[in-house]
Amino acid sequence: MIRKALWLSATSALLALLASGAHAQDRVVNVFNWSDYIDSSIIDDFTKETGIKVVYDTYDSNEILETKLLAGGSGYDVVVPTASPFLARQIQAGVYQKLDKSKLPNLSNMWGEVADRVAKFDPGNEYSVNYMWGTTGIGYNTKKVKEALGIDTIDSWDAVLKPENIAKLAGCGVYFLDSPTDIVPTALNYLGLKPDSTSPDDIAKATDLLLSIRPSIRKFHSSDYINALANGDICVAVGFSGDLFQARDRATEANKGVEIAYAIPKEGAEMWFDQMAIPADAPHVAEAHEFINYMMKPEVIAKSTNYVFYANGNKASQPLVSKEILDDPGVYPTDAVLAKLFTVGPYDPKTQRLVTRSWTKVITGQ
């Protein structure tokens, strides 16, 4: 976390420096996006085409982004929060400005299916445009899972949410996301309850389920699992699809015989969306719109998808996405699986506190 804090202070200092150093006639856009989330040639191409200089900063958690935005005066023009619960809550808090859709002609390229789902968090898609989306599923080391469970592929949450199954995996190591807003809905969905339930009884049931598998989980962490899985230190991680694809690629590059696969379990999984939005106090609003419009060009966003291995919300880009990615059901799920994916809205403060408190009980036993 210190690393994040240091990055943050360093990048914001740099930003201030660059922003003040730029001449009045230079056009600048300050973009704040997730780390490892873009093919950097896209940024160069944008500057070449429009003459707008991009100051590109990264973060690796929604919480860090949210804290900066809530404090105000962040100086960023384009940010990429996750739709739920972050973007939805931030819209309520008055963090963003409405998009000027007349400046975003490329909106016609977007994918209705994704925009409709996002509308649950951003009614009428007034504040944001989809960048990438994915799922929260299971990444695993195929060889070690076969040794432990005797199965070739994981296709169900049974593998990690049934105490007797996960106990067999405990020896080779299981990590879970340290994120109650992802794991609690997943547990609720597995129990056949509503994933977005706010009933204390339902949350208690999910907590009990998680407590029953707790002894077999080695660590709860939201980023460590990429390296741990790729290095073969652990055999299963419940995490974000794109991170797990990164682990798969790193393992392939290292060529040490570690093979990683990703599964969207058949019971369904949480679907998340990272959305481009413009803060209310953004200093370069016109440039921000140009940047977002540029990112909606089919060839640009396809290039980004080919680099990061996430699905994007741009229908027109699909013919340009590499076949290997488009045909991977872990990235672009089939319609049947897509129907099973669920989303969860932001919790009210009382439920949020209950969920965080239950989560602390799960991970620390207190």
Partner 1 sequence: MSNAVTAVSASPAANDGKSVPARLGEAFVGRLVIIIPYLWLLFFFLVPFIIVFKISLSQTAIAMPPYTPVLDFRDGISGFFAGFGELNFDNYAWLTQDALYVNAYVSSVIIAAISTLLTLLVGYPIAYGMARAPAAIRPTLLMLVILPFWTSFLIRVYAWIGILKPEGLLNQLLLSTGIISQPLIILNTYTAIFIGIVYSYLPFMVLPLYSALEKMDHSLIEAAKDLGCPPTSAFWKITFPLSLPGVIAGCLLVFIPAVGEFVIPDLLGGSQTLMIGKTLWNEFFANRDWPVSSAVAVILLLLLIVPIMLFQRAQARAQEQDR
- Sole window of 102-110, 145-153, 294-302, 349-357 interacting with partner 1 (rule: CB under 8 A): 349-357
Q: Is the separation of the CB atoms in 135 and 241 below 8 Å?
A: yes
CB of 104 to partner 1, least distance (A): 25
Give the residue from 258, 308, 251 showing the smallest Cα distance to 37: 308
Considering only 14, 22, 93, 339, the residue that binds partner 1 (CB under 8 A) is 93
From the CB of residue 335, how many other CB atoms can be counted at a distance below 10 Å? 7
Single-letter code of the amino acid located at 70: L
Q: Which is nearer to partner 1, 217 or 308 (CB)?
A: 217
Q: Say which DSSP state 83 is in.
A: I
CA gap 328, 311 in Å, rounded: 10
The DSSP result for 280-303, as a single string, is TT-S-HHHHHHHHHHHTSHHHHHH
- The size of the chain, in residues, is 366
- CB nearer to partner 1: give 192 or 365: 365
The binder of partner 1 chosen from 67, 153, 252, 334 (CB under 8 A):
67
Min separation Cβ 24 and partner 1, Å:
28
> Nearer to partner 1 by C-beta: 63 or 328?
63
| Cα→Cα distances 313→128, 147, 245, Å | 12, 38, 18
Q: What tokens were used for 77? A: 């023009």
160 φ, ψ (degrees, to nearest 5): -115, -15
- 231 to 270: interface string for partner 1, x by CB under 8 A: xxx-------------------------------------
Give the shortest CB-63-to-partner 1 separation in angstroms: 4
Q: How far is the CB of 233 from partner 1 (least distance, A)?
A: 6
- Which residues 44-63 are close enough to bind partner 1 by CB under 8 A? 61, 63
Three-class SS state of 363: helix
User: In 3D, which of 291, 230, 250, 282 has the Cα closest to residue 36?
Assistant: 250
**How far is 328 from 134, CA to CA, in rounded Å?**
12
Q: Which is nearer to partner 1, 70 or 339 (CB)?
A: 70
- Binding residue for partner 1, selected from 21, 23, 48, 94, defined by CB under 8 A: 94
Tokens of 87: 């973007």
Place of tokens 């960048």: 131
Name the residue nearer to partner 1 (CB basis): 94 or 112: 94
Count of residues binding partner 1 (CB under 8 A)? Answer: 40
The only residue of 30, 46, 66, 272 in contact with partner 1, by rule CB under 8 A: 66
- Could you write out the DSSP letters of every residue in 195-211? TT---HHHHHHHHHHHH
Selected binder of partner 1 within 42, 69, 271, 295 (CB under 8 A): 69
Of the residues 27, 103, 205, 221, which one makes contact with partner 1 according to CB under 8 A = 221
Q: Please, which residue, 6 or 14, has the CB nearer to partner 1?
A: 6
Position 178 contacts partner 1 (CB under 8 A): yes
Residues in CB range of 362: below 8 A, 6 or more apart: 207, 210, 211, 214
Give phi and psi for 141, each to the nearest 5. -85, 110
Per CB under 8 A, 64 contacts partner 1: yes
Least CB distance from residue 181 to partner 1, whole Å?
8
Nearest-10 Cα torsion for 34, 349, 222, 188:
-120
Note the residues at the interface with partner 1 (CB under 8 A).
1-3, 6, 61, 63-64, 66-67, 69-72, 89, 92-95, 173, 178, 180, 217-221, 231-233, 349, 352-353, 356-357, 359-360, 363-366
